[in-house]
């Protein structure tokens, strides 16, 4: 039986009791496993501090080393963690639950601190569009209520509630919309491509009547008609010839002929045209086309 004397306890022991050490000639550690364990138990804080200090000094080097090791042993490491998780599932579950229970305030404070230090990062993430293929579950839910498709660069796209143009909704807007659908949020949280469309939409944040209008005096264009007119005119004002995304105001659907004289033709796309809000105001200043001239009974 091969034996070796421990440098710490001076006892001769089987080489099985010694760990590996490539820096030694015999490839074995100078201390036996028992002495090493005892030392670690008695010097936990010292060892922890030493490791922390070493990591700080060699952070980039160690990261590169771990990255390379993972790359070369990816399948092996995944299989190991999978087996370990299956064998210790219940223990890990109980440990995690106990840890969170004992450190509620600490975890809460840590999350708060992290959020405060990374506000810009969180905002950028929330405002960014969602990759089409990374949210299969969310896409299936949203498809029940919204028309969706994949953009050229691989992001999820929806139709704007007001102008019906395709756009990339942000992560937060999709989450809010699904929350409203599932009953966990207030309102409907409809999807809008811009603040202008949100502001001009007559039903946004309204509970009973359209904005600034009573039921009997509403002249709001039918939503489907408005969207068809916008799409036909390519979401561009037909007077100033500026696309909606380049405007500081929203776009409106205007009836070329007063609908009070021909109510049956009110939904005719051929008597409607797209104007920006500014041009629309100018049109209604023309004699015979003022809001007073066109006022409904």
> Is a pLDDT exceeding 90 seen at residue 192?
yes
Q: Helix (H) and strand (E) counts for the chain?
A: 12, 9
Bridge partners of residue 254, in order along the sequence = 273
> What gap in Å lies between CA 134 and CA 152, rounded to an integer?
15
Q: How far is CA 111 from CA 69, 101, 124, in A?
A: 30, 15, 18
**CB within 8 A of 269, min separation 6: which ones?**
225, 228, 229, 232
Q: What is the pLDDT of residues 4-33, one digit of tens each?
A: 889 889 888 888 889 888 888 888 999 999
Stretch 110-121: mean pLDDT, rounded? Answer: 89
Task: Flag the least confident range among 164-168, 202-206, 234-238.
Answer: 202-206
Q: How confident is the model at residue 219 (pLDDT cuts 50, 70, 90)?
A: low
> What gap in Å lies between CA 139 and CA 135, rounded to an integer?
6
> Is a pLDDT exceeding 70 seen at residue 261?
no
What ranges make up the beta strands (E) of 118-224? 148-150, 156-159, 166-167
Specify the higher pLDDT residue, 184 or 269: 269
> Is a pLDDT exceeding 70 seen at residue 74?
yes
> What gap in Å lies between CA 85 and CA 95, rounded to an integer?
13
Percent of the chain past pLDDT 70, that is, above it, reads: 90
> What gap in Å lies between CA 151 and CA 159, rounded to an integer?
12
> What gap in Å lies between CA 144 and CA 142, rounded to an integer?
5
Where are the domains positioned within the chain? Answer: 132-193, 202-283
> What gap in Å lies between CA 276 and CA 239, rounded to an integer?
8
SS3 132: helix
**CB within 8 A of 276, min separation 6: which ones?**
237, 239, 240, 242, 244, 247, 249, 250, 251, 252
Q: How confident is the model at residue 142 (pLDDT cuts 50, 70, 90)?
A: confident
**How many alpha carbons lie under 13 Å from residue 116 in its C-beta half-sphere?**
6
What per-residue confidence (pLDDT) applies to 126? 87
Instruction: State the angle between helix axes of 89-102 and 104-117 in degrees (0 to 180), rounded to the nearest 10.
Output: 80
- Token readout for 208 is 């009973």
């Amino acid at each position: 039986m091969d034996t070796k004397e421990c440098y710490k306890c001076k006892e001769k022991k089987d080489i099985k009791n010694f760990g590996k050490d490539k820096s030694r000639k015999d490839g074995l550690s100078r201390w036996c496993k028992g002495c090493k364990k005892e030392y670690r138990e008695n010097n936990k804080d010292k060892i922890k501090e030493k490791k922390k200090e070493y990591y700080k000094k060699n952070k980039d080097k160690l990261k590169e080393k771990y990255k390379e090791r993972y790359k070369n042993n990816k399948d092996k490491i995944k299989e190991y963690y999978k087996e370990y998780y299956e064998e210790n599932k219940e223990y890990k579950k109980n440990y995690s639950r106990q840890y969170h229970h004992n450190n509620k305030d600490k975890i809460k404070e840590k999350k708060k601190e992290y959020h405060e230090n990374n506000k810009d990062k969180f905002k950028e993430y929330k405002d960014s569009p969602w990759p089409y293929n990374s949210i299969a579950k969310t896409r299936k839910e949203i498809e029940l209520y919204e028309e969706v498709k994949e953009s050229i660069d691989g992001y999820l796209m929806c139709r704007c509630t007001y102008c019906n143009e395709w756009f990339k909704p942000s992560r937060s807007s999709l989450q809010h919309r699904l929350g409203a659908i599932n009953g966990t949020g207030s309102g409907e949280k409809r999807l809008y491509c811009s603040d202008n469309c949100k502001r001009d939409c007559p039903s946004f944040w309204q509970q009973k009547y359209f904005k600034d209008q009573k039921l009997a005096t509403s002249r709001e264009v039918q939503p489907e008609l408005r969207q068809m007119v916008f799409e036909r005119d390519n979401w561009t004002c037909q007077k100033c010839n500026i696309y909606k995304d380049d405007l500081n105001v929203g776009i409106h659907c205007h009836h070329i002929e007063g609908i009070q004289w021909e109510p049956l033709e009110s939904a005719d796309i051929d008597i409607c045209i797209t104007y920006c809000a500014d041009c629309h105001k100018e049109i209604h200043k023309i004699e015979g086309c003022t809001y007073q001239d066109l006022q409904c009974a």
